[in-house]
Amino acid sequence: MSGNRRRPPQRTLVGNRATGDPAGGRWASRQQVPGQGTAHRARRAAPQQKRWIDYPRQNRTGPRRWLPSWRHVLSFFLLFFGATAAAVGYAYATVTIPDPNPRTLLQNNVYYWSDGSVLAADGSVNRQNVTLAQVPADVQWDFIAAENSSFYTDPGIDPQGIARAMFHMAEGGSVQSGSTITQQFVKNTYLDQSQTVSRKFKELLISSKIGASMSKQQILQGYLNTCFFGRQANGVQAAARMYYDLPVEKLNVSQGAFLAAAVNEPSLFQYADSDPKAQAQAKARWSWVLDRMVATGKLTQQQRARYTAADFPTPRKWSPGSGFTGQTGYLVQLARSYVQAHDPAVTDGSLSRGGYQIHTTFDKKKTAKLAQAVAQVRKERLDPAHRQVDRDVQAGAASVDPKTGKILAVYGGPGFDQAHYSDNADTSGVPVGSTFKPVVLASALQHGAVMRPGKPAQPITPSSKFNGDDGIQIKDQQGNYVTDTKDPTGFLHQHNDTDYRWGYIDLRKAMEQSVNTPYVQLGEDVGYENVANTAKGLGLRSASLAGPSAGFYIGTSTPSAIRMAGVYGTFAASGMQATPYSVTAVTHNGSALSGFTAPAPVRALPAAIADNVTDVLRGVIARGTGTKAQAVGRTAAGKTGTTDDYRSAWFIGYTPQLATSVVLFREDPKHPQLQSLVGVGGLQKVFGGDIPTEIWTQYMRDALAGVPDTPFPAPASLGRGTDEPGASPSPSANPHKQDHKDDRHRKRDTHTAPTRAPWPTGPKCRHHRCG
């Protein structure tokens, strides 16, 4: 068996390491094919071809084959950085600064009371842009310290700030913004509020471009105007008003710190006035902002010590959802109309885009007192639940400063919130009745009267006598009887309220008792042109004046309550006419508009004439149809007025400090036509000396409380006047000493207004606007 056993192959030592043999002294099989070992060794010794990326690693086995080398890691990061830099560079080169979001351009219009507090705001966005110069420096630094202390040195983005904010919040510290002020400005103005990587990346790119193209002051101004602060306030100006009822110019460093704190959590801070939890967090954040002011060197430790928790600037109470209630709508409407009338560039379109700040003449307290007076008298005198005739009764009133023409208060109706949109104080269409008689008297005192055809005008004084009987025929300046197509005789027979025979009475008494016939004849003698010119000089507009007719002299014209208050204010100011106005200043986007200087008073009547008219009107209250006004308890003058069929009732009165007109009328809102006031308040007849006088008296008593009772100037003598032909010579008795008549003899303030054919009647437009 041994002879058949296979022998293992013999191996021989091939090569020698000691001699440098390439074989390395390895053993080779004796069965190897000749030359095979040499070729094999040649292949193993040949260098392998290098790959561009040696991965998986060629000369490693096992797990090490798949582990990248440090060269791989370095190459990867260099490649990634290069690609990222290229992508960012391309994105930066191609990205453009977009147009601002349309909503960020919207603002509202803010209207202010005369004391500077906010009256109202209209518009879809509560924002009023301001310039950076309007924001106190301390308030600017409040925001910079809280949001971006490196604002003036960084390029618009701050990676370290982002990382620091994330780390600080991870530790449980105060909420901090990781964005710079520039980034927040870009987000607010050009982008949206979505929290996506693409939006954030775009924000960074645009911020870099904004930082390179806009000044820091422009960016900070834009940021302050676009931040949301809660309470529906967009921008620092709206926030200052909503939280502290102050313009931004008057904020202090403590209030600014609160607003800077509110930017991060507006939904919480808006309730810091009432919610204990919100107030506690607001105090903590407010304190932190002040500490940051110290850290940035904008407050000293001593200054910071002044603001303890007890000095926290608690914001004012907030009532969300308040609108145009009460008189607000009428006041805004009046101011808006005035602005548009005095600046053609202010259109409905520009007002809809907002940005206007409109400062008015309206007195907050007087406006409230006027509304209270109307409400109180309505409550006492009207009973719409039980009297049908009381349901559609409307009132209008206006109060002006005689010396300046400032409209201090109006009552336009129950309010926009009650679906009453027509301003009864600024509406033309309600005849003024006998309240127009003082205009006729003023014109007669100034121009005289033509008593006889072909003769020059003769002087007139309040002592001049005219026929006061009912039903007399009226003559024109040519001595012809005035025609009336409605009269069976074809001629005008002027009537009073009763057929009481007054005989020839002086103009003073005719005014006090509101007798019509003397003033119709006086008007004809003075002439329509003279009376109309006097009316316009006193502030009435031509469009509101009735045409030439007998009724014109006793009140067929339809000026507004505002304009009539201005007329009587001219008497109070001794003949200096100050046009009623409602706006003192207007700014748009922080820039003041021209054209809103207060109208300068002008001489409308000689002082002697105006003061004599006042003296006559004092008698109306002392012993005439306006005796209820004596309850005002101070020196006053005024006139009652009632029109045909009792379709309107007026009282207009004044003191040296205040002129106020009140009108009462009845109109169904669904059928805009004046209706009779007969039966209103349970009265058989409604005169101007009734409900309107009561409203006037209550308002004036409250509005002038604490104001000294100043006398009117003593009227200068006008000399001897001329009586109407046929009157007996005037006695030299004291003209103030008059017989007191029983109410049944007291003439109502009314007119009968036949039209002299073919002259037209006056306009009846209900939509005339007053300045």
Helix (H) or strand (E) holding 14: strand 11-14
> How far is it, in rounded angstroms, from Cα 500 to Cα 738?
17
d(CA 212, CA 514): 78
Mean pLDDT of the chain, nearest integer:
83
Model pLDDT, residue 664 = 97
Is the pLDDT confidence value at 765 over 80? no
pLDDT tens-digit readout, 328-369: 999 999 999 999 999 989 988 888 888 899 999 999 999 999
- Whether the ω angle into residue 548 lies within 30 degrees of 0, i.e. cis, is no
Nearest-CA neighbor of 230 among 282, 190, 179? 282
Task: Judge whether residue 168 has pLDDT over 90.
Answer: no
* Beta-bridge partners for 394: 665
Q: Where are the alpha helices (DSSP H) in 466-527?
A: 507-512, 516-526
97-137 residue pLDDT tens:
565 666 777 888 999 999 999 999 887 788 888 899 999 99
Span 708-732, pLDDT tens digits: 999 999 999 999 999 999 887 544 3
Token pair, residue 423, equals: 């301003």
- Alpha-carbon gap, residue 212 to 95, rounded angstroms: 14
Rounded to 5°, angle at Cα 457 from 454 and 458: 120
* Structure-block tokens of residue 580: 């009623």
Core vs surface per residue 664-687: b (16+ CB within 10 A) or e: bbbbeeeeeebbbbebbbebebbb
Element spanning 43, H or E: helix 36-45
| Residue pLDDT, tens place only, 308-324 | 988 999 999 886 655 68
Instruction: Provide CATH 3.40.710.10 ranges for the chain.
Output: 108-121+323-586+594-771
Mean pLDDT within 507-530: 97
Topology given in CATH for the domain delimited by 108-121+323-586+594-771: Beta-lactamase (3.40.710)
Q: Smallest Cα–Cα separation from 641: which of 658, 659, 624? A: 624
For residue 356, the model assigns a pLDDT of 92
Q: Which pair of tokens denotes residue 549? A: 């007719």
Helices (H), 296-423: 301-304, 328-342, 348-353, 364-381
CB burial of residue 714 (10 Å; 0-12, 13-18, 19+): exposed
3-state SS, residue 73 = helix
**Token pair 């004084």 is at which residue?**
461
What does the pLDDT read at residue 462? Answer: 97
- Nearest residue to 651 via CA among 601, 707, 698: 698
Establish how many alpha carbons lie within 13 A of residue 381's alpha carbon, considering only the half-sphere containing its beta carbon.
21
Total residue count of the chain as it appears in this document:
771
Residue 49: CB atoms within 10 A of its CB come to 6
Buried b (16+ CB within 10 A) or exposed e, 75-98: eeeeeeeeeeeeeeeeeeeeeeee
SS3 for 227-281 is CECCCCCECHHHHHHHHHCCCHHHCCHHHHHHHHHHCCCHHHHCCCCCCHHHHHH
Write out pLDDT tens, residues 8-65: 555 544 444 444 444 444 444 444 445 555 555 555 555 556 666 666 766 777 776 6
Q: How many CB atoms lie within 10 A of CB 595?
A: 13
What is the Cα–Cα distance from 96 to 94, expressed in whole angstroms? Answer: 6
For the cut 70, the answer to whether the pLDDT of residue 385 exceeds it is: yes
Residue 237 φ/ψ, nearest 5 degrees: -70, -45
Q: What is the CA radius of gyration of the chain?
A: 45
- With a cut of 80, say whether residue 567 has pLDDT above it: yes
362 token code pair: 């309206």
Q: What is the mean pLDDT of residues 373-377?
A: 97
Structure tokens at 238: 């709206």
528 vs 753: which has the higher pLDDT: 528
For the segment 575-629, what is each residue's pLDDT rounded down to a tens digit? Answer: 999 999 999 999 998 889 999 999 999 999 999 999 999 999 999 999 999 999 9
Could you give the CA distance from residue 295 to residue 148 in angstroms, rounded to a whole number?
13
Q: What angle do CA 418, 419, 425 make, to 5 degrees?
A: 85
As annotated, the residues of the chain forming the CATH 1.10.3810.10 domain(s) are 126-311
Q: Which CATH superfamily is domain 126-311 in?
A: Biosynthetic peptidoglycan transglycosylase-like (1.10.3810.10)
Residue 390: helix, strand or coil by DSSP? Answer: helix
The structure tokens 């791989």 sit at 72
pLDDT at position 74 over 80:
no
The predicted model scores a pTM of 0.75
Contact 695, 373 (CB under 8 A): yes
HSE-CB for 180 with a 13 A CA cutoff = 27
Contact predicate 159/273, CB 8 Å: no
